[in-house]
Homo-oligomer: A and B are copies of this chain.
Amino acid sequence: MSIVVLGTVALDSVRTPFGKRNELLGGSAAHFSMAARLFTQVHLVAIVGNDFPLEHVSFLKRKGLDISSLIVDQGKTFRWQGEYRGDLNTALTLNTELGVLSVFKPRISQEQGMIKNIFLANVDPDIQGYLLRKMRSPQLVGLDSMNYWIDNKRKELIKLLKHIDIYVANDQEARSLSGENNIIKAAKALKGYGARMVLIKKGENGVLFYSDKFIFSLPAYPVEKVIDPTGAGDTFAGGFMGYLARAGKISPLILKKALAYGTVAASFNIEDFGLNRTSRLKPQDLRRRLEKFKGGFLF
């Protein structure tokens, strides 16, 4: 079954200890799609400005995404500028230009409105809610957010969580939104807001999955040369949700496998700048790394 992803398509300028890149194609929905496309048909719901390079449009199309709901509007494309230092675990945002994102009202076709799998990647919770209300028969809805919205649109975000199946957060966000320091307590509190399942991403420390039925913890796939972690969380979500969408149902075993696919997808993402590595990714690359990961015999 196919999946709708709402989020940003951005121009990212990033500096890491391994170099500097200007205006790379990025954004939460773009990173998500690079992994999810390996499992299912991805319908991209996003906005860019009329300064958005045409080559990026054809690139997204070439990658098999349905971009019929990618709005091109008058104005500037959303831009993010950031830097990673030291252990590359935390991004330092240097600058954000919202551009057309500030007037974004998602549009979808009637057919897209019937799709059952939805991922609301990081954008304003009001926009996430707006799209979700347009969806006619949501079956599996995932949502990601970020500290900015937790601080500035806390109420809206919490209200939205009642309609979400899987809330995806990193550990800082989970602690911040729940007010709990212990990561298990934080997950429990977030579940209390209404999301059936909570998935906490801990970067190089792996993920924690929390639901009433089971808790599952998975380490990260060890990557020695982390070049650029931008979008790792979105790539994780793309592999995870993509696999679940293809499976078409949920069981503990399917969830575990989805988490493992998310983990290996993210491990590819961080090995190069932007979408460089994940855009070249093939299903067999994922499968091969998954096999290594499963055995625990990683090299």
Contact = CB atoms under 8 A, between A and B. Distances in A.
Interface in A253-299: 256, 296-299
B214 A206 contact: no
A181 B202 CA distance: 16
A86 interface: yes
Given A88-B181, A188-B224, A205-B206, A296 B256 contact: yes
A224 B297 CA distance: 29
A218 interface: yes
A272 to B, nearest CB: 15
Interface string A59-93: 00000000000000000000000000011100000
Contacts of A215: 222, 298-299
The secondary-structure label for the interface of chain A is loop
Contacts of A219: 206, 208, 217-219
A214 B298 contact: yes
Contacts of A252: 296-297
A185 interface: yes
Contact of A222 (B87, B181, B217): B217
Contacts of A216: 296-298
A296 B208 CA distance: 11
A298 B217 contact: yes
Interface string A194-233: 0000000010111010000011111110111110000000
Contacts of A297: 214, 216, 252
A256 B182 CA distance: 26
Contact of A223 (B86, B181, B184, B296): B184
B296 A181 contact: no
Given A205-B205, A222-B208, A182 B87 contact: yes
A17 to B, nearest CB: 9
Q: Which of A88, A205, A218 has the most CB of B within 10 A?
A: A205
A86 B223 CA distance: 29
A264 to B, nearest CB: 13
Nearest to A184: B224
Nearest to A181: B87
A292 B15 CA distance: 43
A183 interface: yes
A289 to B, nearest CB: 13
23 contacts: A87-B175, A87-B182, A87-B183, A182-B224, A182-B225, A183-B222, A184-B223, A184-B224, A185-B224, A202-B205, A206-B217, A206-B219, A208-B219, A208-B222, A214-B297, A215-B222, A216-B296, A216-B298, A217-B222, A217-B296, A217-B298, A218-B219, A252-B297
Leading 7 A-B pairs by shortest Cβ distance:
A205-B205, A217-B219, A87-B181, A184-B224, A215-B298, A214-B297, A216-B296
